[in-house]
Amino acid sequence: MEKTDIDMYSKSDLQYLSQIGKYVRANRLNQNKTQQELAEAAGVNRTTLVQMEKGKPVNLLSLIQVLRSLKKLQVFQQLEIKQRLSPIQLAEIENKQRQRAGRKKEPPGETKSDW
């Protein structure tokens, strides 16, 4: 494990809540919004926002609503699951693709004659 991984896992859950609260507060202030303005825009109670900024546990839905109002939902990009194919799966897909066109079949009853 790298040193950054060790540091990351050595922090307590409360330290991460505090970090989230600081992130929300810093972005709110950078956007020059009051707690009341952000709470109303996010559709949460101002008390909920105050608790979040203090690093107290809040509902996950409230966090998402606040981040959406701050236009900071990109923090969730790390959570996206991307479909990855192994080289074997890619080769199988390529082998299944058509390599050439087939002959056109003539409708029954219409045979060509050399005559």
Contact between 52 and 21 (Cβ < 8 Å)? yes
User: pTM for the whole thing?
Assistant: 0.68
Residues 51-75 have pLDDT tens digits of 999 999 999 999 999 999 999 999 9
**How does pLDDT run across 85-106, given as a tens digit for each residue?**
788 887 888 888 777 777 777 6
- At 111, the amino acid letter reads T
**Domains, the chain, ranges and CATH?**
3-73 (1.10.260.40)
Question: What HEC string does the chain produce?
Answer: CCHHHHHHHHCCHHHHHHHHHHHHHHHHHHCCCCHHHHHHHHCCCHHHHHHHHCCCCCCHHHHHHHHHHCCCHHHHHHHCCCCCCCHHHHHHHHHHCCCCCCCCCCCCCCCCCCC
